[in-house]
Structures are given as C-alpha cells and as structure tokens.
Amino acid sequence: MARTTNKPKDMVKITQRAAKELAAIQAANSRDDAHVLRIESESEGYSLWLGPEQEGDTVVGSEDTILLRATPDLTRYLRKTSVIIDCMDYEDSLRLIVYPEGQPPPELAAAKKKQRRAKKAPGGSTSVRTRK
C-alpha cells in the first residue's frame, strides 16, 4: 500500500522513553504482521490503535524506526502545529501524552526539572538524581 513519504520535518517529536513504550505496546498487542500502530485525533485528544496501513498515511518516526502512522486529517493539523509524544509517570504506570512543542503539561515540566537537578556527590563529582 502506498504511503506518504514526504513528511514535514519535525512535525512530531517522539522522546526515547515514549518510543520504547510505543514499541512495547505494538509488540504486546499486535496479532497481525500487516498491522501498524496508528495515531488519530479525537474530540478530546488522540487515540492509538493497531490496524492496517492506509492510503494517505504519514509516517511518524525516523525512516529506520517507523513508530506510528498518522491519518490524513491529523497530518493536516500536524503540518501547522509541532507536537511531542512523551511519557509521564501516572500512579503505578506510564502514560503516553501528546502536547504542543514548547507547552508541556505542568506535571511533566515539574518531573523533568526534578530529573535534571544535579547533586554534588562525595569526591567532587556530579550525580544526577532521577525520580522513579
């Protein structure tokens, strides 16, 4: 099936943590090798689902690691607004989130600040404390 290959650069950025989660979702749920992980917009956000590649899909991810296919309607939106797909800790699990570039949700911004905070370790070296 033909797909769009001339995707706009940096239309969607996927963090490494989210890329791992997306790959795990597909591996755990795919029962058909012809199915791909798809993203589309809904009235209150985005949905992910497994299904066949469709005419007009846009590849989301690098050429080496195709992570998602975006529907034509979502692609039109993404051409105007760059978004980031990321993960955040939620209760005892991870939650995939999508937000406009430069506008992370407050709880994600606070968590990332905590991860970047450096603390002097004995001996003068610097260690980074991360939140689990």
Q: Given pLDDT bands bounded at 50, 70 and 90, which one contains residue 120?
A: very low
- Domain 12-103, classified CATH 2.60.300.12, yes or no: yes
**50-74: average pLDDT:** 82
Cα 7 from Cα 100, distance rounded (Å): 18
Out of 35-49, 60-74, 83-97, least confident range:
60-74
pTM: 0.69
Name the residue with tokens 């994600």.
108
Q: How many CB atoms lie within 10 A of CB 14?
A: 23
**What does the domain layout of the chain look like in residue ranges?**
12-103
pLDDT (0 to 100) of residue 105: 82
* 20 or 108: which leads in pLDDT: 20
pLDDT (0 to 100) of residue 76: 87
Of the chain, the percentage scoring pLDDT greater than 90 comes to 0
Cα 32 from Cα 54, distance rounded (Å): 15
Compute φ and ψ for 42, nearest 5 degrees: -130, 175
